Structure 1
């Protein structure tokens, strides 16, 4: 992975596990890693902690990087990228999906 966009643009991320039995009946949590400054999947082998971490909102710099990445991917201006990010509740993959749906709809309207 070379960037946050590399993670958000994937449908799945494969992580090798030495002992697959540890995953049976386990729940994976998505948390913000303060050191990596990104969301990570965390598997608690002994069950969830007593106090789950609170959700931390991304920094302004982080939001800016996501918007720039979306802008480049969608070939649109900042305002359009920001709009699609907001309608997808901050989910970059959802933003790309919504944008794709709108583009397909516009193409179909031109054909009819």
Structure 2
């Protein structure tokens, strides 16, 4: 997996061989929509999106968001504002943002052709 692949993800699922290492920790059962199954999630800095999130995690999330924005901007050959718009209407999903953009372009070309 590339650095881009890692940084563009909201979280990574890492199988563990010894479940005892989580002893005494709080795990959350969540639906992983990509794996289409429930998974136990351990948040080392607290709960999901919790108030205990460290500033390092916040900076990391901002950096990840910026990288995603830059990737979408380069892929679509658009400005930051346009890339940010398409990411905002797709809840930050770069693949969906690119599909939305392509669909809008297709519709514009159809209108221009008629």
Instruction: Report Cα offsets for 1:40-91 as digits up to 9, x if no partner.
Output: 24569x9xxx731444476111111000000000000000000000000111
Confirm or deny that 1:84 pairs with 2:56: no
Q: CA RMSD in A?
A: 3.1
Equivalent runs, 1:1-112 vs 2, <5 Å: 1-5=1-5, 39-41=11-13, 51-52=27-28, 53=41, 54-56=47-49, 59-112=61-114
Residues matched between the structures, number: 82
> Could you say if the C-alpha distance between residues 111 and 3 of structure 1 is closer, same or farther in structure 2, counting changes exceeding 3 Å?
farther
Q: Which has the higher contact order (CA 8 A, sep 6+)?
A: 1
Partner of 2:33: none
Q: 1:2, CA displacement in angstroms?
A: 2.6
What is the TM-score with the length of structure 2 in the denominator? Answer: 0.56
> Could you say if the C-alpha distance between residues 105 and 59 of structure 1 is closer, same or farther in structure 2, counting changes exceeding 3 Å?
same
Describe the SS at the equivalent of 2:12.
Answer: strand
> Could you say if the C-alpha distance between residues 70 and 55 of structure 1 is closer, same or farther in structure 2, counting changes exceeding 3 Å?
farther
Unaligned runs of 5+ in 1: 9-31, 33-37
